[in-house]
Structure 1
């Protein structure tokens, strides 16, 4: 009989709270789509609710996943979705003809208000018709695997107490990184305590761990060791290229010959947008209207208003620095594919998904010289110190303007299918080993 996977759906259930998927959201969706390939899947979805942690059958999960794809416009080309198309076309027009736009500050990208978030969540509940579900403690089959890659909920211990009553369950978790614990000055207040509890939860309940890089493994294990779990079995597996990226055929013809650079990340201190804005100020001072364009793709996070204040203070900078949030994955992929280079000056990462995506697409990359980037960089990736303004300016000026760039062949090893296979093979093997030990205790001799 197939071993049942109890897949944590918390991150995907909260999809309507965001305009577009982030990197780990796409990975979570890929795994969910693989596990719940159709309504006959024997696996279960797990959700925390007001009436406790509940298990949902495949038909209910499949309905939810279809709704999430519609919310994010991930099941169809991004430009078929009106809101995504408007955001995408606006940013293209800003890059092509900044002088043709109205002579006024361009407002920051639209974000979801609290009211819209509530409305979107209500629509999800109505569209999916999620029922009461079943109590996980009693309805997850013997010997199942509980899988949590989204890491949401790990800071809430009560969500995992059911595992203490089910020693037959194999608990597989991914901790993306321990950045808040190692770099508390780069994160918002409260994140240190939040992440400390996440590590405690993993140390208490995990039977095995999933990591994106050896760097993430080593740093996470250092903190797990403080809770007497230093040697949990672990899989180091790079994240996959999104299927939407793999399906993107070519760069945008209308931007051919335009020198534009892309940085993809939430705007927050850790991502070091400050460096790029300083560099672009220098480029504009020196090159004027011939300065290249910078496209900031990502929502505004902690301390973003301070970081981006300079765009309001310098209209010339706003004409060359463009901010957009809410792009669908295929729109982002086509924008990245035609960029002169992908820029990632971040101070620290557990993986560095945009750098990985650009590498696979063949887009040149200029990135910070940090452990995670060194691990995933190609031979032609330019790695620079996070505070070397002069070096970044030289590298940006030296990057050749992109020609029309078709998507290269995508190696199978970086696809979502290969990732799902490797991850599931690992956790099933760990579950088999745990079941054998569990049965030996129950039936000694």
Structure 2
């Protein structure tokens, strides 16, 4: 028996021109591929438009999905190393301290960014959707894993009225629990989003027990019943599943993630200034890999204006998976100093590749990467000690780690969706 799944591709459609994915983008693409290939599923791509679902041309979406996979995975044969990547690796591995840091140009402040017409490639995605007057797509269940369109109840209410089951993945409740780390207004929007899910979802998937606990606590606070919750740790892409002995080199450290307030990077760069004051040109190098996000001014001030960090701290974005994995394997350690996370995919990826890992002592890290060197996110001396200890130690593999897989994730999802199991382990 074939199950017709209305899969919400709104977020993926908004990413058709993006060079590298966020963690949520990776999840959306993994679900699209899994549903497309599942023998018991007819995937019907849909997107939200004016508080209702409209169909997306399946053939067009299939091509875009394969294009995104090739672009984001970016194997060495498919995506040659760029000049910027060569400069970054050369700066990290140089036997002497470079005179200047390798830093990607940050975007202008939002208030100074003029509104531009969307490229024709982006507009094309909308014209590929059926017009609003078309009847609502019909399916057996609806799956949404990108948070898009859930801040209003109309779509979920319509599906509920038509007897279509609604399965929603919640990545975190950070805008609700820690609004100070998010754009103004994001907290209220996410609160409305989670309320709608609690009221109208048939089932909820969460990426960690911590996220599930936060969801249950929010439901109690709001006086709402919580639908059945399924905990399914996220899987990893192939490039992050293979361990390799690190090559002896000048010690450098890596942080992966959007450059935003909750990642605690201003604190990390303050520590790096202290490391430079203690060690001079022998201070280990650091590279921040990620796009510029919200409230990054303090990080930019450090990167652009601190003479102590020049030649030591670098930043890059849009690295394909193959290049990012190589960078992580050769690092003395991966750093994860976040104040709060719902899952922390880069930390799990680092553990899978047996990269040494220094991480903040927060609930989700204790759940997922308890083997890491865990330090309180505000313990400056503790972080300095951890970094200096690993910088002086010979390059070595971290402990063996039983990484979550997409197979194990989708085995849980199959049960939540009521599909005939085809995944294992």
Q: TM-score, normalised by structure 2?
A: 0.87
**Farther-moved stretch of structure 1 (320-329 vs 84-93):** 84-93
SS state at 2:418 partner: helix
Equivalents in 2 of 1:157, 1:114: separation in Å?
Answer: 32
1:174 lines up with 2:165 in the alignment? no
**Farther-moved stretch of structure 1 (345-354 vs 221-230):** 221-230
**Residues 104 and 283 (structure 1), Cα distance of their counterparts in 2 relative to 1, 3 Å cut:** closer
Counterpart for residue 231 of structure 2: 236
Equivalents in 2 of 1:214, 1:73: separation in Å?
Answer: 28
Counterpart for residue 415 of structure 2: 425
**Residues 395 and 252 (structure 1), Cα distance of their counterparts in 2 relative to 1, 3 Å cut:** closer
Counterpart for residue 88 of structure 2: 91
Q: In the comparison of the two structures, how many residue pairs are matched? A: 415
* Cα distance, 1:77 vs structure 2: 0.8
SS state at 2:342 partner: coil
1:337 lines up with 2:329 in the alignment? yes
Equivalents in 2 of 1:96, 1:37: separation in Å?
Answer: 42
Q: TM-score, normalised by structure 1?
A: 0.83
Counterpart for residue 147 of structure 2: 151
Residue number among 302, 310, 335 corresponding to 2:302 in the alignment: 310
1:415 lines up with 2:405 in the alignment? yes
Counterpart for residue 423 of structure 2: none
**Residues 422 and 136 (structure 1), Cα distance of their counterparts in 2 relative to 1, 3 Å cut:** farther
Counterpart for residue 81 of structure 1: 79
Counterpart for residue 197 of structure 1: 192
Counterpart for residue 108 of structure 1: 104
**Residues 17 and 309 (structure 1), Cα distance of their counterparts in 2 relative to 1, 3 Å cut:** farther
Counterpart for residue 440 of structure 1: none
SS state at 1:36 partner: helix
* Cα distance, 1:91 vs structure 2: 1.6
| Superposed CA RMSD | 3.2
**Farther-moved stretch of structure 1 (169-178 vs 128-137):** 128-137
SS state at 1:4 partner: strand
Equivalents in 1 of 2:190, 2:137: separation in Å?
Answer: 30
Please list every run of 5 or more consecutive structure 2 residues that lacks an aligned counterpart in the other structure.
421-425
Q: Is the 8 A contact 2:47 2:55 kept in 1?
A: yes
**Residues 197 and 131 (structure 1), Cα distance of their counterparts in 2 relative to 1, 3 Å cut:** closer
Please give the residue correspondences for 1:361-440 in structure 2 after superposition, counting only pairs within 5 Å.
Answer: 361-379=353-371, 381-399=372-390, 401=393, 403=395, 414-428=404-418
1:263 lines up with 2:258 in the alignment? no
Q: Is the 8 A contact 2:3 2:40 kept in 1?
A: no
**Farther-moved stretch of structure 1 (206-215 vs 49-58):** 49-58
Q: Is the 8 A contact 1:213 1:351 kept in 2?
A: yes
Equivalents in 2 of 1:296, 1:354: separation in Å?
Answer: 12
Residue number among 282, 288, 295 corresponding to 1:290 in the alignment: 282
SS state at 2:253 partner: strand
Equivalents in 1 of 2:18, 2:193: separation in Å?
Answer: 22
Q: Is the 8 A contact 1:40 1:59 kept in 2?
A: no
**Residues 137 and 341 (structure 1), Cα distance of their counterparts in 2 relative to 1, 3 Å cut:** farther
Equivalents in 1 of 2:293, 2:68: separation in Å?
Answer: 22
**Residues 197 and 79 (structure 1), Cα distance of their counterparts in 2 relative to 1, 3 Å cut:** farther
